[in-house]
Amino acid sequence: MTTFADLGLSDPILKAVTDKGYTNPSPIQEKAIPSVMEGKDVLAAAQTGTGKTAGFTLPILHRLTEKTKRVDRRAVRTLILTPTRELASQIKKNIEDYSVHLDMTSLVVFGGVKINPQISKLKQGVDILVATPGRLLDLCQQRACDLSQLEILVLDEADRMLDMGFINDIKKIMKYVPQKRQTLLFSATFSNEIKTIAKQFLNNPVLVEVAAQNTTAERVEQRAYKCDQASKPELAIHLIQQGNWDQVLIFTKTKHGANRLSDRLQKAGITSSAIHGNKSQGARERALQGFKDKTVRVLCATDIAARGIDIAHLPHVINYELPNVPADYVHRIGRTGRAGQSGEALSLVCNNERAFLVQIEKLISQKIPMHTEEGYEPDLWPDRMPSAAEVTKADARRKQEARQQRGPRRPSNNGRGGGGGGGGGKPNSKTDSPASRRRSSTRRRRS
């Protein structure tokens, strides 16, 4: 069996890996580390939970310590772009752990917090910068971040960055980055769009694949429960209590849904928090911390907020509602069964979601066993299932009717026109996604 020492990593890095308690490299690490150390571009198909963060961080640290330092102290040497704040914070934490015996500086920057402290830290010089695209572009445009001497660029969770509409920001960021560099791209799924990006940004990359494309984490046991939408809160409570589960991540489709379910669980005596883009950064971090240290049993999350959450050995994931984008299912259940541990992923499926389940099964080339829990059998489960198009159409109609009933939107007081937070005219948007930024600027224009 290959060891970390066999991979040729330097002693301070090997010591940090031992400190972390890792005994052997995971398959992605075994495959990616040598190529990254040789300075090659890498295109890696790897889902979260496979150890991919160490897969790129360890060899990057090795290379940065091997090569001479940059001419300008303030120029960034390695940039890691990632879709969400949570993921960015986690990567930064990993870098700190792995570089504990090295003289290496790192910084994380993302939106939703003040920009000025980030500008001050960048002035002091940073070797490795972890960033979400929106805030980084802001910093580049304000000339607060020097990427002109960048040696290594990592596009982490590239598929999710594209899903979140970051492609234009990324393209703009690339204008600040030198042509001659090493580029690594990690993605759980390989769509045509990802392939196009890879062609554009990578140079003759080494292809690294550990699991077949679009497959779910191997050691996750998957199950679905047929039920009515209305009985989902009770069924979720029943499953958590019956299994005596102490750490459950539940995915809901909407932010309000996450809040509502969290309140419902609290009332049933199950400690719970919600995490989503409408929560302040502080509230999100508190919720995540409570969940990690197990003072909170259940975390109700939307897809974007939960993206990249890394909790060692998270045993249970519940899809309270199925995602309409099948690849999201792969990401969701990737929260469990990490680094060789086993996990359980349950999906509560009502009649309207049956077609989404079929799409997911097609994507993962696997049948998800369907169960019926006694006392929670669905009233509505006709032989003919509604098609995905029918459901989407009905949803849109319902939303339209609700909008009409609500009447025209009243101007909101918090659309103050954006000058306030020292953000150089950009709103402190609740999520960093361009779509969300667009929405908030439309709101401001309306008011």
- Regarding 338 and contact with ligand AMP (CB under 6 A), the answer is yes
- Contacts of 194-202 with C-beta under 8 Å, sequence gap 24+, read 194/158, 194/159, 194/162, 197/155, 197/158, 197/162, 197/167, 198/43, 201/153, 201/155, 201/174, 202/41, 202/43
Q: Hunting for tokens 């809160």 — which residue is that?
A: 233
List 35, 53, 183, 319, residue binding ligand AMP (CB under 6 A): 53
Residues contacting ligand AMP: total by CB under 6 A: 15
- Regarding 339 and contact with ligand AMP (CB under 6 A), the answer is yes
SS3 45: strand
**Which range in 47-55, 164-172, 267-275, 392-400 contacts ligand AMP by CB under 6 A?**
47-55
Closer CB to ligand AMP, 112 or 337, in the complex: 337
Q: Hunting for tokens 């002693």 — which residue is that?
A: 11
- Regarding 52 and contact with ligand AMP (CB under 6 A), the answer is yes
- Cα distances (angstroms) measured from residue 275 to each of 280, 311, 433: 9, 15, 16
List 35, 50, 252, 347, residue binding ligand AMP (CB under 6 A): 50
Q: What's the closest the beta carbon of residue 308 comes to ligand AMP, in angstroms?
A: 7
- Regarding 310 and contact with ligand AMP (CB under 6 A), the answer is yes
**Which range in 19-27, 110-118, 172-180, 370-378 contacts ligand AMP by CB under 6 A?**
19-27
List 9, 12, 13, 25, residue binding ligand AMP (CB under 6 A): 25
Q: Hunting for tokens 């010591």 — which residue is that?
A: 15
Q: What's the closest the beta carbon of residue 145 comes to ligand AMP, in angstroms?
A: 25
Closer CB to ligand AMP, 206 or 339, in the complex: 339
- Regarding 49 and contact with ligand AMP (CB under 6 A), the answer is yes
Mutual angle of helices 52-66 and 27-37, in 10-degree steps: 20
List 35, 42, 44, 48, residue binding ligand AMP (CB under 6 A): 48
Q: What's the closest the beta carbon of residue 59 comes to ligand AMP, in angstroms?
A: 13
Answer for the pair 149, 181: CB distance below 8 angstroms, yes or no.
no
Q: How many C-beta neighbours within 10 Å does residue 108 have?
A: 24
Of the candidates 342, 322, 286, which has an alpha carbon nearest to the alpha carbon of residue 86? 286
- Regarding 323 and contact with ligand AMP (CB under 6 A), the answer is no
Answer for the pair 310, 338: CB distance below 8 angstroms, yes or no.
yes
- Regarding 26 and contact with ligand AMP (CB under 6 A), the answer is yes
- Regarding 22 and contact with ligand AMP (CB under 6 A), the answer is yes
**Which range in 50-58, 202-210, 344-352, 439-447 contacts ligand AMP by CB under 6 A?**
50-58
**Which range in 22-30, 65-73, 282-290, 386-394 contacts ligand AMP by CB under 6 A?**
22-30
> Using CA atoms, how far apart are residues 275 and 300, in angstroms rounded to an integer?
6
Of the candidates 43, 35, 87, 44, which has an alpha carbon nearest to the alpha carbon of residue 62? 35
Q: What's the closest the beta carbon of residue 224 comes to ligand AMP, in angstroms?
A: 25
Answer for the pair 42, 31: CB distance below 8 angstroms, yes or no.
no
List 13, 36, 44, 51, residue binding ligand AMP (CB under 6 A): 51
> Using CA atoms, how far apart are residues 64 and 78, in angstroms rounded to an integer?
8
- Cα distances (angstroms) measured from residue 69 to each of 74, 76, 104, 260: 11, 10, 11, 52
Q: What's the closest the beta carbon of residue 341 comes to ligand AMP, in angstroms?
A: 9
Closer CB to ligand AMP, 294 or 397, in the complex: 294
- Regarding 190 and contact with ligand AMP (CB under 6 A), the answer is no
Q: Quick one: CA torsion of 200, 206, 212, 214, rounded to 10 degrees?
A: -20
- Regarding 312 and contact with ligand AMP (CB under 6 A), the answer is yes
Q: What's the closest the beta carbon of residue 216 comes to ligand AMP, in angstroms?
A: 14
Closer CB to ligand AMP, 54 or 368, in the complex: 54
Closer CB to ligand AMP, 50 or 106, in the complex: 50
Environment class of 27 (CB within 10 Å of its CB; exposed 0-12, middle 13-18, buried 19+): middle
- Cα distances (angstroms) measured from residue 260 to each of 232, 235, 266, 283: 12, 15, 10, 16
List 16, 54, 250, 333, residue binding ligand AMP (CB under 6 A): 54
Of the candidates 186, 230, 188, which has an alpha carbon nearest to the alpha carbon of residue 329? 188
Closer CB to ligand AMP, 7 or 239, in the complex: 7
Q: Write the binding mask 110 to 149 for ligand AMP: x where contact by CB under 6 A, - elsewhere.
A: ----------------------------------------
Contact residues toward ligand AMP (CB under 6 A) are 22, 25-26, 29, 48-54, 310, 312, 338-339
